[in-house]
Amino acid sequence: MKNRVGIVRLTLAATLAAALMVSCDGSTGPSSFEPGPLGTVTLQRGEAVRIRSLLSMTGSSLGETARRGVELAVRDVASIRGRNVQLGDPIDSMCSPEGGRAGARQIVADPQVVGVIGTSCSAAAVAASPVISEAGFVMIAPSTTSPLLTSDLAGNPNPDYHPGYYRVANNDLYQARAVSDFAYNELGLRRIATVHDGDPYTTALVNAFGDAFQALGGEVPVAAGIRKGAADMTAVLAEFAVAGADGIFFPLFRAEGSPFAAQARVFDGLEGVTLISGAALLVSDFLATPQSEGIYFAGPESDYRTNINEVTGKSAETVLATHEATYGEHPQSPYWALAYDATTFLLSAVRSVAVEEGGRLYIDRAALRAWIGTADLQGLIGTISCDDFGDCGTGRQNIYHHTDSGITDVQRLPVVYRFVP
């Protein structure tokens, strides 16, 4: 009996010693940290804070712009609680539902990923958002704008909203109001035809525009659709000419928007018709084409100048200078700043909720969502503050008038209308 008691005592002593032992990575255990309902990322001593980006590296030029903004932000933040921030290569969503879903699944397969910057396109976000949400992750988007992804801005979620999805880009309901107000009250247009390509971004935007324009007294005589990849716009343009439209709103991507603009310019019966597009075409490579001249573009603000991101302490001017020095050119679209702010917003959230104990860093996923949903952050674009459905942008919109294809820097385009909600 005495020997058995001794064995028990030795076993208990060994157990306690193991529990208090410093592990090979310098961490001590056990931990008193209790994981939340969505799980916790646990980093051992020296392990990097890992985030990923899910961007449209093919299918849209927005992805490259966003990638650079994310990289600059990671470089400026550098570390969290003494641990490096690790980004890795962007995962290509291809601006499609299939790419968004596959990319999201690839990301959530790694439980050490803390959060995601993405996507670039609403079509990819519609498929990626439920995957990210179900896994308990957070995703902050720099340029997805479809109302379907968040809410109607009146307190009602839309069908494709999923918890954990946030964006610093503006809900397109703001852009719809900006375009309709400008077209009706400033340009005096009364009959505006619209066209979409079936994408969640283009479809939701032209529908929202139609509602806003008609509420002002305007008319949408034709709301047409084209297929992705279409190059011959004859049939749609003929409808518009017959309808007697005095304006056309075509918020298409470049693959379809460029031939549409070129053909609309020379189509019989559309002489003098005003062309208005959206932010997907507000990119340098399209602005350099002759068919871009004369078009009005709705998009985010672009002249951030002395605005300072409070996380990094850098001004827009400073970050812009670094961009040009690093990549040898000016950003292709205004979304570089939104990508920078989205990344610093995520990393600020990680820094705020992380708990260090015994050499380990614990990042609770539920706490991360809660912090993002309630925080205010001063970014390059202004105040970032999220509503209950993930809309965190300022709501402000500019209408630009492009008259010279020699000017491809959006920041240099004349702003003819400013919308402030």
DSSP state of 290: G
* pLDDT of res. 17: 35
DSSP state of 191: B
> Which residue segment(s) compose the domain that 232 sits in?
173-299+399-419
Based on the fold, state whether residues 65 and 107 are members of the same structural domain: yes
Structure tokens at 18: 């193991």
Domain count, the chain: 2
Q: Which residues, in sequence order, are CB contacts of 138 under 8 Å at separation 6+?
A: 115, 116, 132, 164, 165, 166, 346, 349, 365, 368, 369, 372
* pLDDT of res. 157: 98
Residue 33 lies in a domain: no
* pLDDT of res. 59: 75
Q: What pTM was estimated for this model as a whole? A: 0.91
Q: Is 239 exposed, middle or buried (0-12, 13-18, 19+ CB in 10 A)?
A: middle
- How open is the CA angle 391-203-136, to the nearest 5 degrees? 40
Based on the fold, state whether residues 278 and 410 are members of the same structural domain: yes
Residue 1 lies in a domain: no
Based on the fold, state whether residues 338 and 386 are members of the same structural domain: yes
Residue 413 lies in a domain: yes
Residue 30 lies in a domain: no
Q: Which residues, in sequence order, are CB contacts of 305 under 8 Å at separation 6+?
A: 315, 316, 317
Based on the fold, state whether residues 52 and 156 are members of the same structural domain: yes
Residue 120 lies in a domain: yes
* pLDDT of res. 29: 55
Based on the fold, state whether residues 271 and 409 are members of the same structural domain: yes
Reduced to 3 states, what is the DSSP secondary structure of residue 337?
helix
Based on the fold, state whether residues 291 and 404 are members of the same structural domain: yes
* pLDDT of res. 23: 45
Going residue by residue through the chain (421 aa), what tens digit of pLDDT does each one get? 334 333 333 333 333 333 333 444 455 555 678 888 999 999 999 999 999 999 999 877 789 999 999 999 999 999 999 999 999 999 999 999 999 999 999 999 999 999 999 999 999 999 999 999 999 999 999 999 999 999 999 999 999 999 999 999 999 999 999 999 999 999 999 999 999 999 999 999 999 999 999 999 999 999 999 999 999 999 999 999 999 999 999 999 999 999 999 999 999 999 999 999 999 999 999 999 999 999 999 999 998 889 999 999 999 999 999 999 999 999 999 999 999 999 999 999 999 999 999 999 999 999 999 999 999 999 999 999 999 999 999 999 999 999 999 999 999 999 999 999 9
Spacing of C-alpha 250 from chain mean position: 21
Q: What gap in Å lies between CA 251 and CA 197, rounded to an integer?
A: 9
Structure tokens at 144: 């997805």
Residue 26 lies in a domain: no
Based on the fold, state whether residues 165 and 308 are members of the same structural domain: yes
Q: What gap in Å lies between CA 290 and CA 36, rounded to an integer?
A: 56
Q: What gap in Å lies between CA 313 and CA 69, rounded to an integer?
A: 15
Based on the fold, state whether residues 338 and 205 are members of the same structural domain: no
Based on the fold, state whether residues 161 and 190 are members of the same structural domain: no
Q: Which residues, in sequence order, are CB contacts of 380 under 8 Å at separation 6+?
A: 304, 307, 308, 309, 315, 316, 319, 337, 340, 341
Based on the fold, state whether residues 381 and 369 are members of the same structural domain: yes
Residue 9 lies in a domain: no
Asked if 362 contacts 33 with a C-beta cutoff of 8 angstroms, the reply is: yes
Based on the fold, state whether residues 249 and 203 are members of the same structural domain: yes
Residue 161 lies in a domain: yes
Say which CATH number the domain at 238 has. 3.40.50.2300
Biggest alpha carbon distance in the chain? Answer: 106
Based on the fold, state whether residues 379 and 408 are members of the same structural domain: no
Asked if 396 contacts 301 with a C-beta cutoff of 8 angstroms, the reply is: yes
DSSP state of 142: S
